[in-house]
Amino acid sequence: MLEPILERYSRNPFHLMQILRETQERLDFIPKWAVDYLAEALSLTRAHIQSVIDFYAFFYDSPRGKYRILFSDNVTDRMQGNTALLSRMLSKFSLSPGQVSTDGLVSIDTASCTGMCDQGPALLVNNYAVTKLSSQRIDFICELIKTRTPLVEWPAKFFNVEDNILRKDVLLSTEMMNGQALQRAMELGPQEMLAEMKTSGFRGRGGAGFTTGVKWEACRNAPGETRYVICNADEGEPGTFKDRVLLSSFAERVFEGMTIAGYVIGASKGLLYLRAEYRFLLEKLQAKLETRRKAMLLGKNILGEKGFDFDIEIHMGAGAYVCGEETALIESLEGKPGRPRIRPPFPVTNGYLGQPTVVNNVETLAKATLIAQNGGAWYRGLGTKLSTGTKLLSISGDCDRPGIYEYSFGVRISKILEDCGARNAMAVQVGGAAGTCLARHEFGRKIAFEDVSTSGALMVFGSNRDMFEVARNFSHFFKHESCGFCTPCRVGTTLLCKILDKIADGKGTGYEMNELSRLHQLLKNSSHCGLGQTASSPVFDTMQKFRPSYDRRLKQKDFEPAFDLDAALAPAREIMERDDADAHLGNEL
């Protein structure tokens, strides 16, 4: 049963993630016997395979329902009413979150974010997205499940995922024939194409803003014969969905950018790491790759140039936000839990399989085609001096027109809010949960690396929103997504959530507020990777800018435990066979 899967991946243990994914798609979950079988076939320990299954949210080693429902639990989905819809579906099947129905028909739970923030509330059913949920649509879905209707017979409109491109600039408005930018890069030659990238001042669009030409040059000059290009399409930041749109409607541009990068650095293989929530795009993307191979835009001797060999593989993730960090992504590609590596060394010298590797995100690679086509000087003329070019923004939340907007760097937040119809914005979260929360008095600031840097998310919160609850949602997201590698993040995110939950329960005091500030410094300064370093940022920002939303919950003057300590000691009293007054905690405590 599993042999065809193993043969398709040449029994290569580095392809463990894809082997597990296909095994689960065939068996509905990954049973113990399959783990044993794969361990022997791949010469891996059972413990290694189990550790991979346990790490990723979308791998299951116990049965789930034939219909596996995951409600998106991002803050924007909550703003759009997902909580009531989740409760409605649970009640229809008399289930609790995470529970499987007794007949094995359905299981219902939540996922952190499905990348559908512009058309939520949304859910995944067997990894396929259903958007624009309503009470009527939920009731219809429940009937389809109860009648065991196959997904292929569900109404097609349920699975309609719109691009919602509402403002175009040079990337989204430029029409380009397949191979056009690649041909121009080949006419220039690898060294001159690299020079154009450096001239452009183009910085990566993943958020960190490292200069792309410098990264490519470091990889090109690194010792070693084998090099790789990795496209990071693990777009897990809450509020971000621009890569989904690029892969849906501009995939050829992304693949061409990967090929240009491979040409410049001397790589023969590219890998696109696609987040699990975008499983519905897989077959479409694979078909486009095959079309490019037939057109001699991928494979051996590309466009007739002897020795220019480059091909692309798509690898699916399995639900781990931390894999958006480039070294964690590489670990995942190598068939391991996606925990960030200690750096240095950096991927440009020691990346995938220990070889020099360029890791760029989807938008970065798509825009490389513009530089190949029009030159570095042209691109440098767009945007600002330190932030050249344009930026795609995923806009969601309290606005009339959520969707994708492309602006030249230097655009003011106020202009963006005007364009998207955010008439009563109180706050804007720029860069997703890990980004920066801006209050009204900051709406004159600009989107640019030298001012407000962003990976592409912009969530709008109206004056009716409770920013404490927004921060609490983000904190639970970070706790859920922590890989557990380092103690500051593993423990700190848990403590952060417990304190916020305590304040929400009306048991918070000034002590808890001080602890939040202390935890912020600890996480920021001691965590191993960016997840932990930014996990407390939403709390710190909202404490500074929206303090009343915290203060009105501080109803206690003196410290109060978050739980009943005396009741917790009841088992000890029972063991000691004591229940007298001295065996109970006094009021003085």
pLDDT band with cut points at 50, 70 and 90 for residue 208: confident
Supply angle C-alpha 135, 138, 144, rounded to 5. 145
Cis peptide before 548 (omega within 30 of 0): no
Q: Is the pLDDT assigned to residue 562 strictly greater than 90?
A: no
Q: Is the pLDDT assigned to residue 266 strictly greater than 70?
A: yes
Which tokens in the block code for residue 509? 């005091």
Order of strands across the sheet that contains 106-111: 106-111, 67-72, 123-125, 128-130
The angle that helices 180-188 and 190-200 make with each other, rounded to 10 degrees, is 110
Residue-wise pLDDT for 88-104, tens only, equals 999 999 999 999 999 99
Q: Is the pLDDT assigned to residue 207 strictly greater than 90?
A: no
Environment class of residue 89 by beta-carbon count within 10 Å: exposed (0-12), middle (13-18) or buried (19+)? buried
Q: What are the phi and psi torsion angles at 556 (to 5°)?
A: -105, 140
Q: Is the pLDDT assigned to residue 488 strictly greater than 60?
A: yes
The rounded distance, in Å, linking the Cα atoms of 317 and 278 is 9
Contact 243, 362 (CB under 8 A): yes
Is residue 222 helix, strand or coil? coil
Q: Is the pLDDT assigned to residue 13 strictly greater than 90?
A: yes
Q: Identify the CATH assignment for 394-465 out of 2.40.30.10, 3.40.50.720, 3.10.20.600, 3.30.750.24.
A: 3.10.20.600
* Summary mean pLDDT of the chain: 95
Quick one: what percent of the chain has pLDDT higher than 90?
91
What's the CATH fold of domain 468-551?
A: de novo design (two linked rop proteins) (1.20.1440)
Order of strands across the sheet that contains 403-408: 165-167, 403-408, 390-397, 457-462, 425-430, 436-439
pLDDT value at residue 386: 94
pLDDT value at residue 582: 79
Q: Identify the CATH assignment for 67-159 out of 3.40.50.300, 3.40.30.10, 3.40.50.2300, 3.20.20.60.
A: 3.40.30.10
Q: Is the pLDDT assigned to residue 369 strictly greater than 50?
A: yes
Please give the CATH superfamily to which domain 166-380 belongs. Answer: NADH-ubiquinone oxidoreductase 51kDa subunit (3.40.50.11540)
pLDDT band with cut points at 50, 70 and 90 for residue 578: confident
DSSP code of residue 366: H
Q: Is the pLDDT assigned to residue 571 strictly greater than 90?
A: no
What is the domain partition of the chain in residue ranges? 3-55, 67-159, 166-380, 394-465, 468-551
Cis peptide before 63 (omega within 30 of 0): no
Q: Is the pLDDT assigned to residue 588 strictly greater than 50?
A: no
Which of these ranges, 140-144, 177-181, 250-254, 579-583, has the smallest mean pLDDT? 579-583
Residue-wise pLDDT for 17-55, tens only, equals 999 999 999 999 999 999 999 999 999 999 999 999 999
Residue-wise pLDDT for 394-409, tens only, equals 999 999 999 999 999 9
Q: Are strands 67-72 and 106-111 parallel, antiparallel or unpaired?
A: parallel
Quick one: what percent of the chain has pLDDT higher than 70?
98
**Contacts of residue 73, Cβ cutoff 8 Å, sequence gap at least 6:** 82, 110, 111, 112, 113
pLDDT value at residue 557: 66
Strand-pair partners of 392: 406
pLDDT value at residue 587: 47
Q: Is the pLDDT assigned to residue 160 strictly greater than 50?
A: yes
Residue-wise pLDDT for 64-88, tens only, equals 999 999 999 999 999 999 999 999 9
pLDDT value at residue 446: 97
The rounded distance, in Å, linking the Cα atoms of 452 and 436 is 8
Determine the distance from the C-alpha atom of residue 53 to the mean position of all C-alpha atoms in its chain, rounded to a whole number. 19
Which tokens in the block code for residue 217? 């040059």
Q: Is the pLDDT assigned to residue 385 strictly greater than 80?
A: yes
pLDDT value at residue 563: 67
Residue-wise pLDDT for 415-429, tens only, equals 999 999 999 999 999
Q: Is the pLDDT assigned to residue 589 strictly greater than 90?
A: no
pLDDT value at residue 56: 97
Which tokens in the block code for residue 428? 């804007």
**Contacts of residue 372, Cβ cutoff 8 Å, sequence gap at least 6:** 181, 182, 184, 185, 188, 193, 196, 260
DSSP string, 419-480: HHT-TTEEEEEETSTTSEEEEGGGTT-BBSTTSB--SSEEEEEETT--HHHHHHHHHHHHHH
Q: Integer distance in angstroms from the first to the last C-alpha of the chain?
A: 63
